[in-house]
Amino acid sequence: MPRRRDALDFAVLGALVEGPLHGYELRKHLASVLGPFRALSFGSLYPCLRRLQAQGLISEASVDALRRSRIVYSVTQAGGSAFAEWANRPSPDAWDDTAFETHFAFFSSTETKARLRILEGRRTRLEERLAATREAMTRRRDRADAYVRRLQEHALDTLEHELAWLTETITLEHKNN
């Protein structure tokens, strides 16, 4: 199972591939790319930056900005290579809940074949989840209270909506390539 930390590492490298940023800019950029539902605290970001720097994937430089010095982070050649490898690795981790949206946010850096494999893997994963949810609802229908049934219905709606979106995205990907 992929770790949130891995997805964060990838997202930070992806943002820095686009150009150097200081911590606040990086956090703001990631929030805009990954969306409001993926909260990113400085308590997660700075340990990630230290970890990537220790691995030689990013570097830092001090830049003087109005009255105070700021640290600006840049991706190294090794970091760029690691990002490209991660972006183009269509493994089950790529379509898991933890990493899929992060992968998708950086699909412009991903080769067509890998994009399609990730999208199709995600669709298969959700189809399996949808079937399991339907079976559980059928099996427990008599024992579930009204709130549990409403929650299960919401889960079905959410899965069906994402599956429709994935199918449309896959169709568009095939048309564009």
CA 130 to chain centre: 21
DSSP 57: S
Which tokens sit at 98? 């933890």
- Between 77-87 and 4-17, two packed helices, what is the crossing angle to 10 degrees? 120
The three-state secondary structure class of 71 is: strand
Give the model's pLDDT for residue 2: 45
Q: What is the pLDDT of residues 101-128, one digit of tens each?
A: 899 999 999 999 999 999 999 999 999 9
Regions in the chain scoring below 50 on pLDDT: 1-2
> Is the dihedral angle over the CA atoms 152, 150, 4, 106 positive or is it negative?
positive
Percent of the chain with pLDDT over 70: 93
Give the model's pLDDT for residue 104: 93
Q: Over the range 59-74, which residues count as b (16 or more CB within 10 Å of their CB) and which as e?
A: eeeeeeeeeeeeebbe
Give the model's pLDDT for residue 40: 75
Q: How far from 32 is each of 14, 67, 88, CA to CA, in Å?
A: 13, 28, 23
pTM of the predicted structure, to 2 decimals:
0.85
Give the model's pLDDT for residue 126: 96
Give the model's pLDDT for residue 67: 62
| Whole-number average pLDDT of the chain | 89
